Amino acid sequence: MNITKMLHQVIDLELAVDDAKELEIGPRVRQQTIFTALDVELAKLADQAGWYKVLSDEEPDQSSLLNHYVNAVELLLLYSAKRQWTHLVVVDDATLKRITTADRATKLEDLNKEYLAIKHFLQGGFYSNRQDDFRHAWHLLLKMGLVDFQLSDHEIMAVYEQHIQGQTEQWAN
């Protein structure tokens, strides 16, 4: 994944949406709005993955799972830009290797812990301005997608670019 490219794309998209909608909200409200959308998208991702639905035999729809994951990544990247924390989402090769070679979470307890840890760390970044918490949330989200859900970086990038392009075209009209 080219995270720098993805970051630039989401920033450009947001500028296009702001122009099209003539939005005039302050930076703090913008951060709150993006953070809220990210929180909702993470819940949708968990719902689609369905690991916590212990009474259901329903298999997750991989296409929907990938779309919700990409939406969460997009919002996290946009939030990093709004907080001026883009340096926290850049992942060097050693960190990426550590993330991608981590053990896959398959047990209910491990998946629950991982999801709740992402939410906890995001809250720490939001309410207490802890950049390390935000970075941990980002790394856990990457791990969840690449390792636990076994999404390829190529799949993620392709769907991300399709999503950005579709949104850009929608707001350009």
Distance CA 1, CA 153 (A): 5
Distance CA 158, CA 144 (A): 18
* Residues whose CB is less than 8 angstroms from the CB of residue 55 and which lie 6 or more positions away in sequence, other chains included: none
Q: Tell whether pTM > 0.75.
A: yes
Q: Are 28 and 82 in contact (CB under 8 A)?
A: no
Domain containing residue 38? 3-172
User: Which residue type occupies 147?
Assistant: V
Q: What is the pLDDT of residue 54?
A: 82
Question: What sign has the CA pseudo-torsion 88, 91, 94, 99?
Answer: positive
Total domains in the fold of the chain: 1
DSSP secondary structure string, 57-76?
Answer: -PPP-HHHHHHHHHHHHHHH
Which tokens hold the place of 150? 């076994």
Q: Tell me: the pLDDT tens digits for 46-89?
A: 999 999 988 888 888 899 999 999 999 999 999 999 999 999 99
Q: Tell me: the pLDDT tens digits for 88-104?
A: 999 999 999 999 999 99
Q: Tell me: the pLDDT tens digits for 117-128?
A: 999 999 999 999
Asked which of 16-25, 31-40, 87-96 is least confident by mean pLDDT, the reply is 16-25
Give residue 21's pLDDT band: very low, low, confident or very high (50, 70, 90): low
